[in-house]
Structure 1
Amino acid sequence: MAFPKIIATMAGGFIFPFLLRLVWGKLCDNFGPIGGWLAAGFIVGTTWTLNHGVGLIFQSGDAWIDMAWAAGTGLFVASALSGDDVGKGIGMIINAIIGGVLGGFILYCLYV
């Protein structure tokens, strides 16, 4: 992959967790549960369009990364750097991995 595409992919991966951390909580604080729905539509929709529609993220070969990986790692690192409880985050990551493996196994069982 060429260097400009690497930079664009890293920027696309950074934008999503940055907007999540910056905007989601404020929308929920100001508008309650409706703010969460608004944040889901605006933040996820806008960054998905930038990354996949406009083509800010370049995926080549067999590598496939979902935006959830960018959100998870970005928010975990931001929490760790800001001094939040990292132990709680590690437990959530382990649970997410277990859930992903279980979900993948169930999908595999559907198509065997």
Structure 2
Amino acid sequence: MTFQYGIATFVGAFIFPFLIRLLWGKMCENWGNIGGWMAAGFIVGTAWTLNHGVSMIHQTGAWIDMAWAAGIGLFTASVVSGDKFGKGVPNYIVALLGGTLGGYILSCFL
């Protein structure tokens, strides 16, 4: 992987948890349950389109689902913002398991 691909991959992986942290809670607060559904479509759809449709993330054979980027990014953001490390570990583990399962399912037919 070249340096340029590495930077693009890092930025692409950063965008997804950043948008989740920035927008998802506010959309749910303002619009209730429908805001959560709108956030899911808008945030996940936009991040997926940038990363896979525009090919911002450069994949070299290994399939890693976007849940890994979300899990790692949100875990890091919560620790940096002052939350306790142990509080986020269960969510981090579930995100890694979900990302692994999603990646495996994709590898079965792609």
| Unaligned residue ranges in structure 2 (runs of 5+) | 106-110
Aligned residues, how many? 103
1:30 counterpart residue number: 30
SS at match of 2:52: helix
Q: Distance in 2 between matches of 1:99 and 1:60?
A: 21
Name the residue aligned to 1:65.
64
Computing the radius of gyration from Cα coordinates, the structure with the larger value is 1
Answer whether contact 2:8 2:56 (CA < 8 A) is retained: yes
Query: In the alignment, residue 90 of structure 2 is paired with which amino acid?
Result: G
> Measured at CA, do residues 95 and 50 of structure 1 come closer, stay the same or move farther in structure 2, by a change above 3 Å?
closer
Question: What CA distance in whole angstroms lies between the structure 2 residues aligned with 1:99 and 1:51?
Answer: 18
The 8 Å contact of residues 16 and 69 in structure 2, kept in 1 or not, is answered as yes
4+ long deviations beyond 2 Å:
91-101
Unaligned runs of 5+ in 1: 108-112
TM-superposed CA distance for 1:87, in Å, is 1.3
Same amino acid, percent of matched pairs: 66
Per the normalisation by structure 2, the TM-score is 0.83
RMSD: 2.2
